[in-house]
Structure 1
Amino acid sequence: MIRDILMYMDRTYIPSTQKTPVHELGLNLWKENVIYSSQIRTRLLNTLLELVYSERTGEVIDRGILRNITKMLMDLGPSVYGQEFENHFLQVSAEFYRVESQKFIECCDCGDYLKKAERRLNEEMERVSHYLDSRTEKKITNVVEKEMIENHMLRLIHMENSGLVHMLCDDKYEDLSRMYNLFRRVTDGLSKIREVMTSHMRESGKQLVTDPERLKDPVEYGVSEDDVEVTLDKVMMLFRYLQEKDVFEKYYKQHLAKRLLSGKTVSDDAERSLIVKLKTECGYQFTSKLEGMFTDMKTSQDTMQGFYACHPELNDGPTLTVQVLTTGSWPTQSSVTCNLPAEMSTLCEKFRSFYLGTHTGRRLSWQTNMGTADLKATFGKGQKHELNVSTYQMCVLMLFNNADRLSYKEIEQATEIPANLKRCLQSLALVKGRNVLRKEPMSKDIGEDDAFFVNDKFSSKLYKVKIGTVVAQKESEPEKQETRQRVEEDRKPQIEAAIVRIMKSRKQLDHNNLIAEVTKQLQSRFLANPTEVKKRIESLIERDFLERDDSDRRLYRYLA
């Protein structure tokens, strides 16, 4: 009866008099006389916060009471819920997690700490779903993230015996996943992870290429084909993240060439498997030269069989094995040919006559800097060894068949080895255990006034002794710049080809869209520099492949 009267009053009397509706008036009276009461206000807040604290410490509470009270506060208005409960709740929560995180980080390793932080985060989201306003979820999760993750990021990442690097080395995938998911929620979280991972990968890479033990035996023998395939799949996973795949190709080609020419390829099948994967990923053009290198090696074997079949008389003397490399497929260098020993020079001329006689229109250029030789040597007391040396080292050693002592300048004049003579003599005279020559005066460097003679006291437990050339541990800055320059030169025709393909298809295109399409088309090989693309456009305009629009200079047209 009373309810009906009040509802009728709300519909008829309240609108005409602009008075406060009865329901709203009741809420206001409740708010002022109960919620804001000095006897109830503080007690209500403390009771709510104590219940939340009890639940956080593992006690079972009546969630129904909390849900009803928070709903009542929300019905009184979001500002009431915020002022009377939410703001205090967030402050108390921040202090709670500040203390708890400090306690956890002192006694837990990184993995356990992250599990506890993840559990606390899930608990708070569950708490919101049961008895808090949904808009509180973002605020309380921010508090947990700040106090438990953001404030301890660096300590967690670098934690001894359990931090990020430890997880990577010990394949702690679950912990790594948890760290990633938690750190991505806070500002700069992923960038901190990236910095440490980058540093770790660089340090690991440096150790791989500078560790003397690994350099002696870089390949782990006895690996099954399945293990090789798994490793190659991991390589391809990393390869996909490379932006400059053409730079990778340049260095990979150099290393592959060394392995093929020195016979150090452990498995041709593994080499070909990687090339197939690269071809699938980047297309035929990316691997055509790599495949050409294998083709040359097979063709060279057949050529040498034909050569010795035509010259059976050569089977008794020194043997020559020639790899005929197709220009463009191999990372060959323009080098000055040194003076080969007379025996080898005669063989080389016979091979040249044979090859050019069977292949018309071709030209041979000897790459002596890429060759190797096996020499049989007899030292004092009749000790015999087989020395595996470079072509340059062979030229030097063969001089001592006719001389007991030679000066640096005499060796230089006789061999005409270009810039590598000092490095070559260092390998022969200064490397302990490989010093088949001796020099006077004794010093750590090679001087132009030095004299050299055979080391009669040389001995080794091995019959076959490999004498490597002294090389720098890493690529020098000029070599890096030279490689980079070659890469940039190789990119120019690729950029021009992409521009022509796009313009031939589109007929006309404005500058910005052309740059964008060229970048997109080439991104599978490298990230095209807009400045270089602009230069290639200018070059194509000069050669009448493109023209500018007369009225809009940023619009290009294709000229058929």
Structure 2
Amino acid sequence: MPPQSGLPDSRDLGATWHFLENGVDQIMTRLNDGMSYKQYMDLYTVSYNYCTSSRMNSGGINETLGTSGGRSGANLMGADLYKHLSQYFVAHLRQVRAEAHDLSDEPLLRYYTREWDRYTTGASYVNRLFTYLNRHWVKREKDEGRKNVYHVYILALVSWKTELYAQLQSGAGNKLTTAVLKLIEKQRQGETIETDLVKKVIDSFVALGLDEADTNRQNLEVYRSAFENPFLAATEAFYSSESEQYLAANSVTEYMKKAESRLGEEENRVDLYLHASTRKGLVSKCEEVLVKNHAELMQEEFQRLLDQEQEPDLQRMYLLLSRIPAGLDPLRERFETHVKKAGLDSVERAVGAAAAGAGAASTSAGGTPAPGGGGDDVKPSREAKDKADAAGAAGVEPKAYVDSLLAVHRRNNELVAKAFRGDQGFVASLDRACREYVNRNRACASPNKSPELLARYADSLLRKSNKASEDADVEQALTDTMTVFKYIEDKDVFQKFYSRMLSSRLIKETSASEDAESSMIGKLKDACGFEYTSKLQRMFQDIQTSRDTNSQFKDKMQQTHDASELKIDFQVQVLSTASWPITAPSTKLILPPELLKTKDRFEQYYTNKHSGRKLSWIWQHSRNELRMLYTPQKYFLVTSTYQACVLLQFNGSDSLSYADLATGTSLADDTLKPLLAMFTKAKVLELKDGNYELNLGFKSKKIRVMLNVPIKAEQKQESADVMKHVDEDRKILIQATIVRIMKSRKTLKHQQLIAETIDQLKQRFQPRVADVKKAIDTLLDKEYLERHETDKATYNYLA
């Protein structure tokens, strides 16, 4: 190609390279002085013209690069140009290296980064000058398998790596690495450093990681060997020394703050100037040195922080120890023990308060005179104290009991949520501890006590006498009830007590709110399923149906009877036998004429409307309101039906003997005697000369006098009845569960059958192994199961 004006002849290699060398040198060393667009384009043109020259180079790449072997027509012009360019980079870098020879530490880094910036910027411009060389000659060489040929920019980096970087890092000095590590240590010691300087050196290490098999792929070998490995070793040494010294002079809690701060600093260091791949190794190394090596000290401090409720320090400890394998396991175990003890202590205080009240009553009733014989000071006897303690355990109020359980759960649940970030391991520890202290504590003389007290607490919330003023307060209290319910093991016992108390509220119309009742049933349904609450829901349906039945009965009576015949305000609740925890009374009762007539009318109305149904009157749950007509002030007596039948006997006579009352009502002695005792205590009747007489001078501060008060003995009997029914239901449920399992599995080992039965029932109650064995024996007798012919510890299901 003929030369253009002012440009060398493309056929003259010497002139061509001389022209290009001057331009390349200006770019590499004096770029800040500027270069015109025309000058740059002239350089590009000369490079292009030489590479596209038709003159074939007689030597080719084999000779110019020192290789041997024949060449094909691929001998494009470019080998000599590539060789001269490579030699220029080497010569230039040797000069740069010479100026760095006497430098070290921060001055060396400044010089290195300044030259690196200048060199890589210039190399990128030079690379574009030789675009044609890269696209054709270099590509052809690489396609033919020559791994020592690179694009011009990569050639510049390879030259830097061998001529400057390798020389500065040679020997034991590792001048660049040493200088960088010194700066990082200064920063760790609180000094301000130029982080951009560190970042540029480290970035150069990354850039020099060239994968010679694929120069487009990053290789971090240089970065790891030159920086990361010595950096991690220096990190370990620095923090090992610092942590030991700091702990020797400071408390564990202060050390945790220091460790937390240091870990944050190292995370930030990665973002500031390290390669992202170092994060995992750096954090792991710091966690080992700062946390793992001192984990035992922190774990020993845990109990003190728990006792003092130091939430920020507990959270810090959790975050630190969660970084290492199994670091939290000892904390979870100690937390479980701590919560269990706190729960037991809380119940103990509630029982103690109840015992103190019982002790005060016992002391007032009698005791031992204090030494000295003064007379007035009385010291309770050991027997009285023991009785008071027993009374405290048995007589703890449901609210005080549940509050004592909730206080511990609420405090520690909040701790788990905040300090331990809702960690599932701590949640499980809390649950195990709560399950333990809820079911086995000082107040639980029997396994059924905790579910009974919880059911009575729920009953107090849902009754009209509840002091909670707002619906929101009741709703929250019900939610709290379910918190304790979650940990009750014998949920079937709770169900029995709750069912009885619900029936009482519905029958006596003492529910504070139907919405609250429905809400509680909904919560129980969510927790235990539809079957658990199905009877409770049907009880509500019966009450609604009874309201409709009463309205229709009254309408019918008004249509068929004169108003003079309907003086008694009569309401009936018709309850389905299968849904209500109520049995027909064993006590016989003769109704007085005042009640009998109305009762017969309703029976006739109901049987006519519902043929085939049988009514059984539940007198022990019925109630009446009587008006006293013989006193100046007209009082109303609220009574049970048994009480009403006794008092109505006095309409015929003001004075009756016990025999008269027993004959007139047909009540048994164990029922009649307590009723009469209550009447005399309330001064409605007076016992004179063996006869019971109306107290014609009866007076009361209240117009409505409540006589239908439950007796404590009845509550004890109720508890015994509940447990009797629970035991019966459990036997049936265990058998049904075994049959269901065997029907599915057909054949099963003895121990496996017991384990699966217990596992399926544990959400309802905790069955005893002995009870499961009895159920298996029963099913063997009933021929639902049989023993395997050859293995007696294996059972077969019999269809």
Q: Secondary structure at the match of 1:271?
A: helix
Q: Secondary structure at the match of 1:375?
A: strand
Q: Alignment partner for residue 788 of structure 2, among 530, 549, 553?
A: 549
Match of residue 389 from structure 1:
639
Q: Deviations over 1:275-313 (max 9, x none)?
A: 222223222222222122112212222222332333222
Match of residue 738 from structure 2:
499
Match of residue 238 from structure 1:
484
Which structure has the larger Rg? Answer: 2
Superposed, which structure 2 residues align to 1:193-342 within 5 Å? 218-220=465-467, 222-224=469-471, 226-312=472-558, 313=561, 315=563, 316-335=566-585, 336-342=587-593
Match of residue 697 from structure 2:
457
Q: Distance in 2 between matches of 1:366 and 1:291?
A: 22
Q: Secondary structure at the match of 1:328?
A: coil
CA displacement at 1:494 relative to structure 2: 2.0
Match of residue 288 from structure 2:
none
Distance 1:546 1:253, change over 3 A: same
1:558 aligns with 2:797: yes
Structure possessing the higher relative contact order (Cα contacts under 8 Å, 6 or more residues apart): 1
Match of residue 83 from structure 1:
none
Match of residue 540 from structure 1:
779
CA displacement at 1:395 relative to structure 2: 0.7
Distance 1:521 1:166, change over 3 A: closer
Distance 1:172 1:314, change over 3 A: farther
Match of residue 37 from structure 1:
none
Q: Distance in 1 between matches of 2:454 and 2:742?
A: 48
Q: Secondary structure at the match of 2:637?
A: strand
Q: Distance in 1 between matches of 2:733 and 2:464?
A: 39
Distance 1:232 1:319, change over 3 A: same
Q: Secondary structure at the match of 1:311?
A: helix
Q: What is the identity percentage for the equivalent residue pairs of Structure 1 and Structure 2?
A: 30
Distance 1:364 1:264, change over 3 A: same
Residues 499 and 514, structure 1, Cα contact 8 Å, conserved in 2: yes
Q: Distance in 2 between matches of 1:198 and 1:528?
A: 16
CA displacement at 1:55 relative to structure 2: 3.6
Give, as a single letter, the amino acid of the residue that structure 1 aligns with 2:537. Answer: E
Give, as a single letter, the amino acid of the residue that structure 2 aligns with 1:545. Answer: Y
Unaligned regions of 5+ residues in structure 1, if any? Answer: 4-46, 65-88, 105-109, 185-189, 442-449
Q: Distance in 2 between matches of 1:216 and 1:280?
A: 23
Match of residue 8 from structure 1:
none
Distance 1:242 1:115, change over 3 A: closer
1:356 aligns with 2:593: no
1:436 aligns with 2:684: yes
Q: Deviations over 1:6-42 (max 9, x none)?
A: xxxxxxxxxxxxxxxxxxxxxxxxxxxxxxxxxxxxx
Q: Distance in 1 between matches of 2:473 and 2:468?
A: 11
CA displacement at 1:368 relative to structure 2: 0.8
Give, as a single letter, the amino acid of the residue that structure 1 aligns with 2:546. Answer: S
Match of residue 6 from structure 1:
none
Distance 1:376 1:221, change over 3 A: farther
Q: Deviations over 1:94-144 (max 9, x none)?
A: 9x99xxx8xx9xxxxx97574698599799989xx9xxxx99x99xx99xx
Q: Deviations over 1:424-453 (max 9, x none)?
A: 22332214xxx3222347xxxxxxxx4322
Unaligned regions of 5+ residues in structure 2, if any? Answer: 1-170, 173-241, 263-293, 350-402, 421-425, 427-431
Q: Alignment partner for residue 675 of structure 2, among 414, 419, 424?
A: 424
Q: Secondary structure at the match of 1:459?
A: coil
1:511 aligns with 2:750: yes
Distance 1:481 1:338, change over 3 A: same
Give, as a single letter, the amino acid of the residue that structure 1 aligns with 2:685. Answer: L
Q: Distance in 2 between matches of 1:277 and 1:177?
A: 24
Q: Distance in 2 between matches of 1:285 and 1:193?
A: 23
1:520 aligns with 2:715: no
Give, as a single letter, the amino acid of the residue that structure 1 aligns with 2:697. Answer: K
CA displacement at 1:50 relative to structure 2: 8.2
Give, as a single letter, the amino acid of the residue that structure 2 aligns with 1:421. Answer: L
Q: Distance in 2 between matches of 1:242 and 1:192?
A: 9
Q: Distance in 1 between matches of 2:319 and 2:778?
A: 64
Residues 435 and 487, structure 2, Cα contact 8 Å, conserved in 1: no
Distance 1:486 1:402, change over 3 A: same
Give, as a single letter, the amino acid of the residue that structure 1 aligns with 2:605. Answer: F
Give, as a single letter, the amino acid of the residue that structure 1 aligns with 2:533. Answer: T
Q: Distance in 2 between matches of 1:524 and 1:265?
A: 29
Q: Deviations over 1:357-391 (max 9, x none)?
A: 222222222111110001111243x2102221110
Residues 114 and 179, structure 1, Cα contact 8 Å, conserved in 2: no
Q: Distance in 1 between matches of 2:687 and 2:545?
A: 43
Residues 491 and 764, structure 2, Cα contact 8 Å, conserved in 1: yes
Distance 1:329 1:178, change over 3 A: closer
Superposed, which structure 2 residues align to 1:122-201 within 5 Å? 168=407
Q: Distance in 2 between matches of 1:119 and 1:272?
A: 40
Q: Secondary structure at the match of 1:332?
A: coil
Q: TM-score of the superposition, structure 2-length normalised?
A: 0.47
Distance 1:544 1:208, change over 3 A: closer
Match of residue 72 from structure 2:
none
Match of residue 25 from structure 1:
none
Q: Secondary structure at the match of 1:384?
A: coil
Q: Deviations over 1:467-521 (max 9, x none)?
A: 2335017843x65443222111112222222222222222222222222222222
Q: TM-score of the superposition, structure 1-length normalised?
A: 0.65
Match of residue 468 from structure 1:
708
Give, as a single letter, the amino acid of the residue that structure 1 aligns with 2:797. Answer: Y
Give, as a single letter, the amino acid of the residue that structure 2 aligns with 1:504. Answer: K
